Structure 1
Amino acid sequence: MIKKVLMISTLLLLFMVGITQATDSESNEEKINLQQGMKMSADVSKQAPEFSLRTLEGNEVKLSDYKGKKVIINFWATWCPPCKAEMPAMQKLYERVNGQFDLLAINIDPKNDVAGFVNDNRITFPVLLDESGKINESYSILSVPTTFLVDEKGIIVKKHIGAMTLDQMEEFISY
């Protein structure tokens, strides 16, 4: 009887050790995946993730096309009231910087009437469509609008979450 109890106890102990090790290896896998994901995210002082997106006109635009230039990247959506509110200020900023900075607006909801919004608001800077959501993901966008300032080397210098006024945008691009 004692032998049976010892044998069952030993088997239970081995079973529990096996489960614990399996759980730990899954946790380690999850940690590795999270760490790799963090490497891909768009953090200040890190290289801006490369992308290739289409404009409303169907032209391909890559971030690497802007190497050697300062770039403002704004993530936005047509359903987002703060995004819509800041777009006229973005247009004014684009006109004021007059080539000192390039501005790319990445729309995260291209199934909506983005062209109509752009036309109604007389937006002249490039509006790119993130059809798959992959660029939104690679930049770790949790809320729109979110704006990045990228330097000539492709390094993210600043990040701002939320809408900005024209004065705030001008302050944002000064560094």
Structure 2
Amino acid sequence: MIRGGLTILIFFLLILSDTMVHATRNGEQETHGEAIIAGAEVSQLAPKFTLSTIDGKEVKLSNLKGRKVMINFWATWCPPCKAEMPAMQQLYNQANGYMEILGINIDPQNDVTGFVRKNQLTFPILLDKTGRVNEDYSILSIPTTLLINEEGMIEKKHIGAMTLEQMEEFVME
């Protein structure tokens, strides 16, 4: 009886470990000749993207190399996302060209334009219509904010809403 249970357990563990190896290998992707591991983390090269703003203008992350970039993943239905938007707008006003702030919206099927107008947001709001950028950055919870340094590396990552003071600390340290 015990021997049969042990055999089943070992068989199950072998299948599980094989599945995990394949999942890890499939998590790697090739982007412009550079291997990028899915689940962009601190100290990794930020996955490149090109997205459109709500006005239809294209924004390429690679065009911002040489500048600090704060990227915030958010949705219109997310209460913590909505709560931090006024602070993000204040930070954008204070940044005065020191850095770029990009809001990447993950629910473009909703009235993003109405939300932006109602909240008088002037920093670029990009629409991730396919979910590809959200996937490339392995965003599991929103809001999630990343700080990309001048070399294009992810310097910091914060999950959850932030106050203006927390944002200032996030981009300055």
Q: TM-score band (shorter)? A: 0.7 to 0.9
Give the whole-Å Cα distance in 2 for the aligned partners of 1:165 and 1:96: 14
**Runs of 5+ consecutive residues of structure 2 not aligned to the other structure:** 1-10, 30-35
Aligned CA distance change for structure 1 residues 162 and 40 (closer, same or farther; 3 Å): same
List per-residue Cα deviations over 1:119-153 (Å, max 9, x = no partner). 01110000000000010011110011000000110
- Alignment partner, residue 5 of structure 2: none
- Alignment partner, residue 113 of structure 1: 111
- Alignment partner, residue 86 of structure 2: 88
Shift of 1:29: 2.8
Give the whole-Å Cα distance in 1 for the aligned partners of 2:26 and 2:45: 20
How many residue pairs get aligned? The number is 155
TM-score between the two structures when normalised by the length of structure 2: 0.84
| Paired residues of 2:39 and 2:139 also in contact (CA < 8 A) | no
**Runs of 5+ consecutive residues of structure 1 not aligned to the other structure:** 1-18
Where 1:173 maps in the other structure, the secondary structure is: helix
Give the whole-Å Cα distance in 2 for the aligned partners of 1:33 and 1:158: 25
Percent identity over the alignment is 59
Q: How does 1:132-147 map to 2 (within 5 A)?
A: 132-147=130-145
- Alignment partner, residue 99 of structure 1: 97
List per-residue Cα deviations over 1:75-132 (Å, max 9, x = no partner). 0000000000000000000001111110000000001000000001110000000000
| Paired residues of 1:77 and 1:109 also in contact (CA < 8 A) | yes
- Counterpart selection for 1:30 from 15, 20, 23: 23
Higher alpha-carbon Rg: 1
Q: Supply the RMSD in Å over aligned alpha carbons.
A: 2.0
List per-residue Cα deviations over 1:20-77 (Å, max 9, x = no partner). 9x9589534334224x267132110110000110000111111001010000000000
Aligned CA distance change for structure 1 residues 131 and 99 (closer, same or farther; 3 Å): same
Q: How does 1:1-175 map to 2 (within 5 A)?
A: 27=19, 28-34=21-27, 36=28, 39-175=37-173
Shift of 1:174: 1.2
Higher strand residue share: 2
Aligned CA distance change for structure 1 residues 96 and 53 (closer, same or farther; 3 Å): same
| Paired residues of 1:41 and 1:49 also in contact (CA < 8 A) | no
Where 2:172 maps in the other structure, the secondary structure is: coil
Give the whole-Å Cα distance in 2 for the aligned partners of 1:29 and 1:94: 42
Give the whole-Å Cα distance in 1 for the aligned partners of 2:22 and 2:154: 29
Higher helix residue share: 1
